[in-house]
Amino acid sequence: MSRTDLAYATVTELAAGLAAGQFSALELADERLARIAATQPVLNAFVSVDPDGARAAAKAADAARAKGEAGALTGIPIAHKDLFMAEGLRTTCSSKMLEHFVAPYDAHVVTALKQAGTVLLGKTAMDEFAMGSSTETSFFGLVRNPWQLDAVPGGSSGGAAVAVAAGLVPAATGSDTGGSIRQPSSFCGVTGIKPTYGICSRHGMVAFASSLDQAGPMARSAEDCALLLTAMAGHDARDATSLPHPKEDYRREIAEPMSQKPLEGIRIGLPDVFFGDGVDAPVVAAVEAALTELRALGAVTVPVALPNIGYSVPVYHVLGPAEASSNLSCFDGVRYGHRAAQYTDLLDMYKKTRAEGFGDEVKRRILIGTYVLSHGYYDAYYLKAQKVRRLIAEDYQAAFTQCDVILGPTVPTTAPLLGAQMQDPIKMYLNDIFTIGANLAGIPAMSVPCGFTSGGLPGSLPIGMQLQGPYFSEARLLNIAHRFQQATDWHQRTPKG
Ligand code: GLN
């Protein structure tokens, strides 16, 4: 493989190269570390890079292979979103509050991928505490979209999406509370899946909104996502919401032989709200073209209704902040992270610490959350939002009696220019209209590259389509995406330079 081929190779291809002895895990890690160093001044995808740890892990992977103990992910370089604790490394959540916080233990997902033999290169940038859609709220500076440097990468897992899209790592972890895996995947032309709530343990993953947060993989193909998810998923008693679900091989449907009509019998539900006003024309066109492709592969499409999905954004912006205001109360200058240098008494210390440590978006959400939980407003806002959340989940249940999966655009637009949304948070919130429903219902959902603006000419931006399915339908979603990716090359395109 040439140097550029190597950079944009998938996990599956790299695993084959490692197995064939074309390169060692150490050579691969060194090549990626050099690419990260070269791109970091422009893209800023990483908050921390760990060359020493990476080389040590790569040597261990090579040694395991020499002993005949290599698995599918042995020696594969990866990066973790900077809200997963990785022992001995900083875990900042891209916040000044945790600027110098060093994780004392590994998150469950970090341990799982370590045990699978992956090589951790570093921690990726995100919106502060995962609150945002553009990675512009990171304390460590903005992150650029490799397809168009003055566009946002999306968020909150923006650094992860950039790292995969720019060939810095073949795969990365992200977290998704309202779309943070799927939306940056869509904006950067990569594949990402948010699994069923409870599939990946949240132990050691810094909480934003605990009833919505889920970890998931982002990679260059659905097959690679399946490989990573297989390693990441599994019951963990340390997270009370971790499901006692048996371990699955998420690649099992992909591994079945390809037939002429591999999607024969699959019913794709199309909610009209996903194709209505407010969706950019190139996005609609790309998703329609993808549907034509999926029909050619044997799938049929049926109309379905999600009558309450229009309430998902307001419901999310009551429940998410409510949970965040509680989760983030531990950042008080006593237990973790930043503490104000000067203060008069304890209360003043709390106030100054939090005023200095948190950015505007985080403060906005803590204020809203505290308000909706306060006496007199709890019933009107928090309780009401919980009831509507249930209605949205029931809409999905009803829809899945008529179809196997639901399809639409991941986001109504392509990546906006840097700075364009920062003055208008409400507009930014509304862009999550298609992704939030899956978090509220707890169902799995993924974003798959399906086209570009201006037909992929230089300067054009990626478009993603979203597949949503019933609980535990990950293997099916990944297989549908895989069959689509075998018939198309959108996921293989690479940004220039
Ligand atoms: N963009 C959404 C928000 O700002 C989703 C974030 C997320 O999924 N972490 O809340």
- Give me the DSSP letters along 389-446: HHHHHHHHHHHTTT-SEEEEESSSS-PPBTTSSTT-HHHHHHTTTTTHHHHHHT--EE
Quote the pLDDT of residue 497. Answer: 65
pLDDT tens digits along 411-425: 999 999 999 988 788
For range 58-68, the mean pLDDT: 98
List 24, 81, 123, 175, catalytic entry: 81
| Residue among 84, 93, 126, 177 to mutate when testing ligand 1 (max atoms within 8 A of CB) | 177
Quote the pLDDT of residue 34. Answer: 97
* Both tokens assigned to 342: 């000067």
| Residue among 83, 206, 432, 439 to mutate when testing ligand 1 (max atoms within 8 A of CB) | 432
Task: Inform me whether the pLDDT recorded for 459 exceeds 80.
Answer: no
List 24, 156, 185, 447, catalytic entry: 156
| Ligand 1 atom at shortest distance from the alpha carbon of 179 | 8
Instruction: Give Cα 143 to chain centroid, integer Å.
Output: 15
pLDDT tens digits along 339-374: 999 999 999 999 999 999 999 999 999 999 999 999
Taking the C-alpha atoms of residue 430 and residue 291, their distance in angstroms, rounded to an integer, is: 25
Close Cβ partners of 240 (under 8 Å, ≥ 6 residues apart): none
* pLDDT band (50, 70, 90) for residue 324: very high
| Ligand 1 midpoint to CA 475 (Å) | 25
**Residue 156 known to be catalytic:** yes
Quote the pLDDT of residue 422. Answer: 80
| Ligand 1 midpoint to CA 180 (Å) | 5
CB atoms under 10 Å from CB of 288, counted, come to 13
- Ligand 1 site residues, Cβ closer than 6 angstroms: 130-133, 156, 176-180, 208, 320, 432
* pLDDT band (50, 70, 90) for residue 183: very high
* pLDDT band (50, 70, 90) for residue 155: very high
DSSP E strands in 266-383: the ranges are 267-271, 300-304
- Give me the DSSP letters along 195-261: -STTSS--TTB--SSTTT-EEEEEESSHHHHHHHHHHH-S--TTSTT---PPP--TTTTTTSPP-SS
Sign of CA dihedral 392, 394, 397, 402: negative
pLDDT tens digits along 136-151: 999 999 999 999 999 9
How far does the chain reach from its first CA to its final CA, in angstroms? 18
| Ligand 1 midpoint to CA 102 (Å) | 24
| Ligand 1 midpoint to CA 213 (Å) | 10
**Residue 81 known to be catalytic:** yes
List 134, 180, 447, 473, catalytic entry: 180
Task: Inform me whether the pLDDT recorded for 5 exceeds 80.
Answer: no
Low-confidence winner among 118-132, 171-185, 447-461 (lowest mean pLDDT): 447-461
Taking the C-alpha atoms of residue 372 and residue 183, their distance in angstroms, rounded to an integer, is: 27
Instruction: Give Cα 185 to chain centroid, integer Å.
Output: 7
What's the mean per-residue pLDDT of the chain? 96
| Ligand 1 midpoint to CA 208 (Å) | 9
Task: With CA atoms as reference, report the closest residue to 104 among 340, 335, 326.
Answer: 335
Quote the pLDDT of residue 366. Answer: 98
Query: Looking at ligand 1, which residue's alpha carbon is closest to its atom 5?
Result: 178
* pLDDT band (50, 70, 90) for residue 428: confident
| Ligand 1 atom at shortest distance from the alpha carbon of 132 | 4
- Helix, strand, coil percent values for the chain (each to nearest 5): 40, 15, 45
Residue found under tokens 């991941």: 410
| Residue among 133, 218, 439 to mutate when testing ligand 1 (max atoms within 8 A of CB) | 133
Taking the C-alpha atoms of residue 351 and residue 340, their distance in angstroms, rounded to an integer, is: 9
Task: Inform me whether the pLDDT recorded for 260 exceeds 90.
Answer: no
Question: 465 with 287: CB under 8 angstroms?
Answer: yes
Task: Inform me whether the pLDDT recorded for 4 exceeds 70.
Answer: no
